[in-house]
Amino acid sequence: MLIKIEKTNYDSGLNKMDKPSKLLIVDDDEEIQSTLKDFLIKKGYEVFSASDGLEGLKLLETEEPGFDLVITDLVMPNISGVGLIAIIKKKFTGLPVIAITGWGEHPEALASEVQADQVLEKPFGLSELEKSLKKLLSSKFDI
């Protein structure tokens, strides 16, 4: 099991302007992608998803208004999560990123080096993810 399913209270993902925060999930594993997406939509967030780094980058470049936060896997085809985070930190300043790591892969150090705001190791609880998410979003909107 990659994600621990837990009972959660479905509240709202509204930001301080009472609009749902816009999230981008990038993961080549469709199961994880859809689990996260379903959970976060139920929590009231506006959620977009992409299956690899390039698809994610294209959404980042074209979506208006831009995203409030990105959740990305690290080991993926074409642009790795580490690459995507590096690009985000250079081109989309201030956009927080949560990196999630997979089975026995060890690029976490690289993720921190390119300044991922949070690194979560699988398996992680959905409540843990939401906690990180809320914390990062609130500091983003506090600025």
Partner 1 sequence: MPPPLIGSSKSIEKIREFIDHIADTGLNVLITGESGVGKEVVAQSLYYKSQRKNKPFIKVNCAALPEGLLESELFGYERGAFTGAVQSKRGKFELAHQGVIFLDEIGDMPRPLQAKLLRVLQSGEFAPLGSEKEVTADAWVIASTNQNLGENVKKGLFREDLYYRLNIIKIYIPPLRNRPEDIPTLIDYFIEKYASQFDRNKISKPDADAMEKLMAYSWPGNVRELQSILQSSMVIGNWEEVVDDLSIKDKPDVNSAPDHKGLDKSLIVDTLFDLKNENSPGHASFSLKKIRKETMNIIDKEVISYVLNQTGWNRTKASKILQISYKTLLYKISDLDIKQQREL
| Interacting residues with partner 1 (CB under 8 A) | 28-31, 51-54, 57-58, 75, 77-80, 82-83, 86-87, 90, 106-107, 110
Tell me how far, at minimum, the Cβ of 64 lies from partner 1, in Å: 18
Comparison of 6 and 31: residue with beta carbon closer to partner 1:
31
| DSSP secondary structure, 109-122, as one string | HHHHHTT-SEEEES
> Which pair of tokens denotes residue 110?
């690289």
Separation CA 51–CA 4 (nearest Å): 21
Comparison of 77 and 123: residue with beta carbon closer to partner 1:
77
Comparison of 78 and 139: residue with beta carbon closer to partner 1:
78
Tell me how far, at minimum, the Cβ of 115 lies from partner 1, in Å: 14
Torsion of CA 50, 61, 73, 39, to 10 degrees: -60
Comparison of 16 and 106: residue with beta carbon closer to partner 1:
106
Tell me how far, at minimum, the Cβ of 11 lies from partner 1, in Å: 30
Separation CA 124–CA 42 (nearest Å): 18
Tell me how far, at minimum, the Cβ of 14 lies from partner 1, in Å: 32
Separation CA 101–CA 98 (nearest Å): 10
Q: 37 with 62: CB under 8 angstroms? A: no
